[in-house]
Structure 1
Amino acid sequence: MRVPSNLKKGQADFNMTPMIDVVFLLIIFFLVSSHLAKQESQMPLPLPTAESGQEIIDDQQPKVVVNIAADGSLTLAGHRVPPSGLRERLQVERERSGEQLEVRIRCDRETPYANVKPVMLAATEAGIWNVAFSVIRPEDAAR
């Protein structure tokens, strides 16, 4: 049996090019995904004020942000979603993220409850019980 010539030297060479390519792709993926996550929570909406709101400390929990405009249109992950298709989208996110998924509702302060209720029902039907509202403090609203 013939021994390959590169093993006679006692060194094994690794080709680092594929690993470097994968690392660069992962860096690009995380940069893009973090940018999209910031975009959906920074959508310009005049949030309602609340005296009893608490700052969220544990931001490591997986969450989905649903934006509700004053006209009742829903935006999930930067895309408009019809109210009828919201439950299916939330179920997919729950299956992907696990049982501890949080739905954070950001709505315009002029949005009537009739536009918020379908979002809460869709979350319940998708098996998501952790629903929170994004609000601002009254003193921050004055600024």
Structure 2
Amino acid sequence: MRRRGLEPMHDDHINVTPLIDVIMCLIIFFLVCGQLARDEGNDKVQIPRAQVGQELDEQRGRLLINVVPRERLAEADAAVAVNPDAEPAVYIRGERIGLDNLTAYLRKEKQETPDVKVILRADQDLVYDWISPVLVSCAQANIKSVNFSTRER
């Protein structure tokens, strides 16, 4: 009788193409999310601490307004002159908006997204006199939901 030998072993190759596709999608996802997070937040703002608060879960329809005092801008950029009476800088989506143009900007946002929710990130050292015009602009634009961003104690 003839002995049958072992069948020759075949080199099985693992198909890595789907793995590479998934990794590329994850890289693109994290790059886009990182860019959005960088545009939304403003690291020059030191938000105040609060003992009570509520997490906002829904991201749809929210508009983040950063109010940065001139002193913080001067720390980051030596070209900015420090004037204690100068109005703070207002940033929305990484774009600087003047207080005189803020109401028109918010009205346009309200037309595009009727149920827009404003989250106000004001610096903890900022006096209320500079937060008040932002709140007035929200009221003039008929925005009903305005929340203050705080940190946990």
TM-score normalised by structure 1 residue count: 0.67
Residues 50 and 137, structure 1, Cα contact 8 Å, conserved in 2: yes
Residue 87 (1) aligns with residue 103 (2): yes
Query: Which residue in the other structure is 1:53 paired with?
Result: 53
**Structure 1 residues 41 and 53, CA, compared in 2 at 3 Å: closer, same or farther?**
farther
CA-based RMSD of the aligned residues comes to 1.8
The question of 1:78 aligning with 2:77 is answered no
Aligned to 1:119: 134
Larger radius of gyration: 2
| Secondary structure of the structure 1 residue equivalent to 2:104 | helix
Q: Which contiguous aligned blocks of 4+ residues in structure 1 show a shift greater than 6 angstroms?
A: none
Structure 2 spans left out of the alignment, 5+ residues:
1-27, 71-87
How many residue pairs align between the two structures?
106
Larger helix proportion, structure 1 or 2?
1
Stretches of structure 1 lacking an aligned partner (at least 5 in a row): 1-27, 139-143
| Aligned residue number for residue 67 of structure 1 | 66
Q: Distance in 1 between matches of 2:113 and 2:38?
A: 20
Q: Is the 8 A contact 1:36 1:77 kept in 2?
A: no
Aligned to 1:13: none
1:56-114 deviation line (CA, Å, top 9, x unaligned): 1223x30111100122111112111110100000010110112x101110011101101
The residue number in structure 1 matching 2:120 is 105
Q: Give the percent of matched residue pairs that are identical in Structure 1 and Structure 2.
A: 24
| Whole-angstrom distance in 2 between the partners of 1:95 and 1:35 | 28
Structure 1 residue 36: Cα displacement: 5.1
Per the normalisation by structure 2, the TM-score is: 0.63
